[in-house]
Amino acid sequence: MHASPHPRPPRRRKLLAALAVLLVLLALGAWAVMWRPAIDPQPRAPQFDAALVERGANVAMLGSCAACHTVDLNRPFAGGRPLATPFGTIYSTNITPDVRTGIGAWSEAAFTRALREGVARDGRLLYPAFPYDHYTRMAQDDIRALYAYFMTRPSLDAPAHPNELHFPMNFRPLVGFWNILYLDRSPWRPDPAQGAEWNRGAYLADAVAHCSACHSPRTRLGGEERKRFLDGGEAEGWYAPALNARSPSPLPWSRAHLAEYLRTGIATDHAMAGGPMQSVVDNLRLADARDVDAMATYMHSFLALAPARDTPAQRVAALPAPVPVPMRMPAPREGDPDLARMRLGHEVYAASCARCHDLGRTPTSGSALPLQKAVALYDPDPRSLIRIVRDGIEPPDGEPARWMPAFAGILTDEQTVALAAYLRRYGAAQPAWNTLEDDVRKAKQP
């Protein structure tokens, strides 16, 4: 018997060859996921029709673009605002038409790609703190109008602040894999079972205002949990309450009250907007009131699913202001198992809060909402209440509005914890929060 003139390669050589091919294919696949080409800079600034710019201004207000892209009101859209995320801090960028540091060199095609795919003009992938996973469903006419609006803003020189992200999220190309998991580029479609106003509100709330970006929980990789739509989320260290059947609101929302809240930041028998929601309201009050009403119609269709609850707020709501003494926040019971803390919380309340909150709130009063009605007392975690106590609520610069002072420099951590625990038990009659000490400590961190 003779050996074959073409012996088969050894098994090991075959395996190595297959592995090499696999690695090459994986490398090509990763390159395809993580790389995008640059789009040539536009040679000259385009001109726009005034009506298109006006439409773009409305889209910008509905999308609250200034909330993230403006730090100094004298330098609108120049970026630089830090956005805290679980992966580190991202700084918003300059979206004025400055050619060197803004989007002045961006064509409409480049601007559209950024909104639909999360890719900058130079091919860099944008971090999804910029909610392109919502903007991807915007109508092209709205994107064109938004582009016209930004390209006609004052040009401001404002270089990008370096992001401060943890490894490996500081390796920007990895965002390409995030896009595979969470970027659904399907176009927005109306629901034929709903009316025109509801569908208009649905489009605006999802594709433009991106409400669920804050009000839905997120996965460990930072993507929205679509199966838990509007189940409650977080924004910049605040709890963003659920806006569906799981709403913690102690009083039901009417559609009219929700529209009033979105336009003004305050509504009868509901707490005023605080934290990141203040910036949203600051923008919505400048938007077309019909569009804001449409958003209220859509969002209320989810809030209306919340079941009626017997809460202390229901009993206080039935009373005219000022709140009668028997309904004011009570002293702790002698048999309270956490009596020392509750007494301290009550003392803090009596010294710092009662003067305004015990009077109740009317449209023309300078007093405040009875805290039994404050949704922050009913939230599943205390972050929003702690931040309201520490940071207060201030109206925009130069705007006359209700406000609440900050107590960060007045109350100790122990007093803040005791006040929150007392309000939770005696204001909302809800089970104790178990993470108060940690949450107060975290709220002090920059």
Within a domain: 415: yes
- Return the pLDDT at 359: 81
What CATH number is given to the structural domain containing 284?
1.10.760
Which one of 139, 155, 182 terminates a domain?
182
Q: What is the band of 324 on the pLDDT scale with cuts at 50, 70, 90?
A: low
Predicted TM-score (pTM) of this structure: 0.90
Which one of 149, 182, 215 terminates a domain?
182
Within a domain: 25: no
What CATH number is given to the structural domain containing 358?
1.10.760.10
Q: Give how many domains the chain has, as a whole number.
A: 3
- Please tell me whether 353 is known to bind a ligand: yes
pLDDT above 80: residue 146 = yes
pLDDT above 70: residue 281 = yes
Within a domain: 116: yes
Range of the domain at 132: 50-182
> Are 170 and 59 within one domain?
yes
Q: What is the band of 420 on the pLDDT scale with cuts at 50, 70, 90?
A: very high
Within a domain: 339: yes
303 vs 318, higher pLDDT: 303
- Please tell me whether 215 is known to bind a ligand: yes
216 vs 84, higher pLDDT: 216
Q: What is the band of 363 on the pLDDT scale with cuts at 50, 70, 90?
A: confident
> Are 144 and 254 within one domain?
no
Q: What is the mean pLDDT of residues 109-131?
A: 97
Q: What is the band of 358 on the pLDDT scale with cuts at 50, 70, 90?
A: confident
> Are 332 and 431 within one domain?
yes
pLDDT above 90: residue 382 = yes
Alpha carbon distance 33, 22 (integer Å): 16
Within a domain: 34: no
pLDDT single digits (tens) 50-76: 999 999 999 999 999 999 999 999 999
Q: What is the band of 192 on the pLDDT scale with cuts at 50, 70, 90?
A: very high
Q: What is the band of 17 on the pLDDT scale with cuts at 50, 70, 90?
A: confident
Other Cβ atoms closer than 10 A to 318: 8
Q: What is the band of 7 on the pLDDT scale with cuts at 50, 70, 90?
A: low
> Are 334 and 242 within one domain?
no
**% of residues, the chain, pLDDT over 90:** 76
Average pLDDT, the chain: 92
- Return the pLDDT at 214: 96
104 Cβ contact partners less than 8 Å away, ≥ 6 residues apart:
45, 96, 97, 98, 151, 155
- Please tell me whether 161 is known to bind a ligand: no
- Please tell me whether 2 is known to bind a ligand: no
Within a domain: 427: yes
- Please tell me whether 357 is known to bind a ligand: yes
> Are 284 and 223 within one domain?
yes
Within a domain: 379: yes
- Please tell me whether 211 is known to bind a ligand: yes
- Please tell me whether 6 is known to bind a ligand: no
> Are 338 and 427 within one domain?
yes
> Are 94 and 158 within one domain?
yes
> Are 59 and 178 within one domain?
yes
> What number of CA atoms fall less than 13 Å from residue 330's CA on the CB side?
12
pLDDT above 90: residue 150 = yes
Q: What is the band of 4 on the pLDDT scale with cuts at 50, 70, 90?
A: low
Which one of 272, 304, 336 terminates a domain?
304
- Return the pLDDT at 373: 92
> Are 320 and 397 within one domain?
yes
- Please tell me whether 134 is known to bind a ligand: no
Q: What is the mean pLDDT of residues 128-153?
A: 98
**% of residues, the chain, pLDDT over 70:** 95
Within a domain: 5: no
> Are 378 and 323 within one domain?
yes
Q: What is the band of 35 on the pLDDT scale with cuts at 50, 70, 90?
A: confident
